Structure 1
Amino acid sequence: MKVSPRELEGFVRQPPAGLRGVLIYGPDGGKVRETAERIGRSVVTDLSDPFNVTVLSGDEAEADPARVADEAAARSLMGGRRLVRVRDARDRTAEALANAFSGPDTDTLVVVEASDLKAGTGLRKLFEDKRSDLAAIACYADDARDLARVLRDSFEAAGVRVASDANQFLLERLGSDRMATRTELDKLALMVGQGGVLDLETAMEAVGDGAALEIDSLITAAADGRPEGIVSGLDRAFRQGESPIRVLRTAQGYFQRLHLAASRAAEGRNPADAVKSLRPPVFFKAVEAMTRQVARWTPTALAGALARLGQAEIRCKTTGFPDEAECGQALIDVARMALRAGARRAR
C-alpha cells in the first residue's frame, strides 16, 4: 500500500498493527533516513541494539537471500520486537525481500531504504501492491509547508527566536535534503544560543549553499527569458548534489509568487508595489529581478509556465524519461515563454 503525504505523520508515529515491511525511498536521502529511523524507533528504543536490530546493505541482501529470510523470521531472544534495516536497496533487492515476506509471519519489522525509484519497478511494485502488511513511503524534497514546520520545530526546541527576514532566507535556501537542513539548523542554533535571536546577517553568513544560489540564477534566467544559460547552470547544480525535483519545486514556488504579484499588477498596482505586497516579503536581493519580471509576464502566461513546471515534475516521478533532461527542457520552455510574453508586452 502507498502511504500518502497526508497519512505520513500518523503512520510514522504509530505504524499499523500487522505491518511486516515498509519501503522508504526518494531523492531526499536525508528524509529517507530520518523517516526510517523514526519508524524503527516505534519497534526498538535503541537503533544500535545488537540483539534486536540487524542492518544489511542491499548488496548483502542480494548476495544472501536466505539470511534476509532468516532475519525477518527470527524472534527476539531478549524480549520485545526485532527490527531489520536494509540500507541502499535497489530494484534487484526485491527478489530477496519477496522471498522473506513469503515466510512465517512474525512481529519483526523490515525497514527498507532506497533512493529514487520509478513507478512499477521491482521494489515499488512489491511494497505498493495490494498486501496490507507492506507499505511504501515516498520522500521528496520538502515543500514550503514541510520546511516551515521543520524550521519552527527545530528552533522552538533549541529556544531560538528567528527574525522574519532570516526565516524567509532559510526557507529559500534550505530543503533539498532533510539531514542537511537539520545540520544547518543545529549549527545556527548553537551559534545563536538558547534565548538568542537569529538575524538575517548571521543566517546569510552561516548558510553557504552554492547549489541553491545556482538554482536562484537558473530560475531568474528562466523568468527573464534567457534560455541560453540554463543547461550549463543546471549541470553545475546537479554536480553539487541538487535533484531535478528540488529544482522544479523551487521554480514552482517562485513562479507562484510571481503569478500573485502579476495578478495584483493586472488589477492596477505598479509592478514594484505588487512585489512589495507579497507575504512573506521577497528577499531583498531578488526584489529588482521580480519587479522586472512582473512587468514582462501576464497572469495567463505565468499560469502556462506553472503548468509546464508541474507537468515536468509529474514526468520525473512517473516516466522513464531522464529526470535531469526533463527538468532542463522545462526550464528552457519557460524561458521561451518569457521571451514570447515580453514580445507581446512590447507591441
Structure 2
Amino acid sequence: MIFYPKNFDIVSHQIKSDKLYGIMFHGSEKGLIDYYVSQVQKILELPVRKITYSEDFALSETLNALSFFSTKEIIIITGVNGNITKEIAQTLKTQTHNFPIFIADDLAPSLKQLFQKQANLALVPCYPESAIDLQLIVKRYLAGKGIEPKALEYLCANLNSDRQFLYSELDKLLIYCNDKDQITLEDVHEAIVPMRNVSLDQLIISFVKGDLKNYLNDIECLLHNNIPEMLIIRSLVKYYTNLYTVKLHTKAGMSVDEAMKLLKPPVFFMYVKHFKEFVATLNCTSIFNALKLLTAAEVKLKSTGANVKNIFENLLLNNYEKNLLITYSANM
C-alpha cells in the first residue's frame, strides 16, 4: 500500500500492530527518509544492520537469519534499483524473521507495483512537499497555539521538509512562546532566524558568490550552533537545484519571475535579489557541475571520517579551480 509522509501515523500504527512485513522509502527528499527510518527504529527498538541491494543476493536468507545478539533485527537495504526477481517477490509476500526497510532513489516499476499492491507492505514516497503540506505539518505540531498567517508563511518559506531540522526548530519556537496563546511573526524572527536560517541563507549566498572569508565564518558559526553538516550540504544542493530549474524555464521562454513562482517553497523575499543575480550570471553548465561537487561532498561526509571543516573548505576551493563560480566585485 502507498502512504504519503503526512499519513505516516497510519504506518506507525500498522508497525506497532505487527501488520507490516516491510517498508520501501523512495524519492529525492533524503531528510524525510532519514527521519522516518529513525521513527521506525524507535518503534521497533531493534538492532540495525545495513546492506546494499542486489538482484542476485539471498534476500530470504538475510531476512530470516538469526542474530547472536538479539531475537530480531532491522535490515536496512540501500541502493535499491532494478527489477524484482521472483524469489525476492515471494520473500516479501510473507512475514520474515527480521524487518526490512528498503531505500531507493529511482524505483523500478516491478518493485513499486509489489509494494503498492501488497496489503502488508508500505510504499512511502519522499519528495519535496508543497507549501500547503508544510502548513498542515506546522499547524499540527503547534496544536494548541494560534499562529498569525504571516508567521506561518514565513515558517513554511524558511523551514525545509527535513523533519529532524523542522521539528527541532518548532520545538525551539514552542519553548520561546511557552506562555503565549498566539505566535506572531516577531516571535518567529526572535526564536528561529538569528540562530539558523539567516546564517544558512548567508552561507549559501557566500558560497555562490565565492566569498571565501564569509563562507568559512558562516560554516564555523553553523557548526558551532550544532547545525547538522548534512543539512548544510542539502541546503546548498536545494539552492543550486532551484537555480538550475529556473535557468531551464527561462531558456524555454519563461520570465525569471514566472519561473520562480514554480519553486516550492518559494525564495524568501529578503533573498530574491541575490537569487535573480545568480540566475542572470551563472550558466547551466556551472550550476550542474556545482551540483556534482556538492553530491560528491555529501557522499564523502556520509562514508568517511574526514574533517568536516576541510570538506567544506575544499568544496568552495574546488569550485574556484573548475571556474564554476562567478567572481563578484567587493562592493556588490
TM-score range (shorter-chain normalised) is 0.5 to 0.7
What are the superposed Cα offsets for residues 250-306 of structure 1, whole Å, 9 maximum, x if unpaired? 111111222222233334566566546645432111011111111111123212222
* 2:141 corresponds to 1:177: no
* 2:206 corresponds to 1:221: yes
Matches within 5 A, 1:57-136: 98-101=67-70, 132-135=96-99
Query: What is the aligned-residue identity percentage?
Result: 16
Deviation at 1:245, TM superposition (A): 1.0
CA contact 1:224–1:338 (8 Å) conserved in 2: no
User: Aligned residue for 2:226?
Assistant: 241
Quick one: which of 137, 149, 152 aligns to 2:136? 152
User: Aligned residue for 1:106?
Assistant: none
Give the alignment's Cα RMSD to 1 decimal: 5.0
Quick one: which of 223, 233, 241 aligns to 1:256? 241
User: Aligned residue for 2:14?
Assistant: 14
Distance, in Å, in 2 between the alignment partners of 1:271 and 1:18 is: 49
Secondary structure, aligned partner of 2:129: helix
CA contact 2:134–2:156 (8 Å) conserved in 1: no
* 2:284 corresponds to 1:320: no
Residue identity opposite 1:242 in structure 2: I
Secondary structure, aligned partner of 2:285: helix
* 2:272 corresponds to 1:284: no
Alpha carbons of 1:148 and 1:316: their partners in 2 closer, same or farther (altered >3 Å)?
farther
Alpha carbons of 1:236 and 1:186: their partners in 2 closer, same or farther (altered >3 Å)?
closer
Alpha carbons of 1:155 and 1:192: their partners in 2 closer, same or farther (altered >3 Å)?
farther
TM-score w.r.t. length of structure 1: 0.54
Residue identity opposite 1:296 in structure 2: T
Alpha carbons of 1:202 and 1:228: their partners in 2 closer, same or farther (altered >3 Å)?
closer
User: Aligned residue for 1:212?
Assistant: 197
Distance, in Å, in 2 between the alignment partners of 1:191 and 1:275 is: 38
Residue identity opposite 2:304 in structure 1: G
Distance, in Å, in 2 between the alignment partners of 1:263 and 1:165 is: 32
What are the superposed Cα offsets for residues 44-88 of structure 1, whole Å, 9 maximum, x if unpaired? xxxxxxxxxxxxxxxxxxxxxxxxxxxxxxxxxxxxxxxx789xx
Residue identity opposite 1:12 in structure 2: S
Shifted more, 8-17 versus 223-232: the winner is 8-17
User: Aligned residue for 1:81?
Assistant: none
Distance, in Å, in 2 between the alignment partners of 1:247 and 1:205 is: 21
Structure number with bigger Rg? 1
Alpha carbons of 1:225 and 1:266: their partners in 2 closer, same or farther (altered >3 Å)?
farther
Deviation at 1:167, TM superposition (A): 2.9
Secondary structure, aligned partner of 1:133: coil
CA contact 1:305–1:337 (8 Å) conserved in 2: no
User: Aligned residue for 2:278?
Assistant: 293
Alpha carbons of 1:228 and 1:333: their partners in 2 closer, same or farther (altered >3 Å)?
farther
What are the superposed Cα offsets for residues 103-142 of structure 1, whole Å, 9 maximum, x if unpaired? 6xxxxx889xxxxxxx9xxxxxxxxxx9943447799xx9
Deviation at 1:312, TM superposition (A): 2.3
Alpha carbons of 1:161 and 1:314: their partners in 2 closer, same or farther (altered >3 Å)?
same
Distance, in Å, in 2 between the alignment partners of 1:279 and 1:33 is: 25
Deviation at 1:216, TM superposition (A): 1.6
Alpha carbons of 1:246 and 1:159: their partners in 2 closer, same or farther (altered >3 Å)?
same
TM-score w.r.t. length of structure 2: 0.56
Shifted more, 242-251 versus 254-263: the winner is 254-263
User: Aligned residue for 1:304?
Assistant: 289
CA contact 1:255–1:302 (8 Å) conserved in 2: yes
Residue identity opposite 1:322 in structure 2: A
Shifted more, 256-265 versus 291-300: the winner is 256-265
Secondary structure, aligned partner of 2:298: helix
What are the superposed Cα offsets for residues 118-175 of structure 1, whole Å, 9 maximum, x if unpaired? x9xxxxxxxxxx9943447799xx9843997565234144474663674354452465
- Which sections of structure 2, spanning at least 5 residues, go unmatched? 21-29, 49-65, 79-91, 104-125
- Number of aligned residue pairs: give it: 259
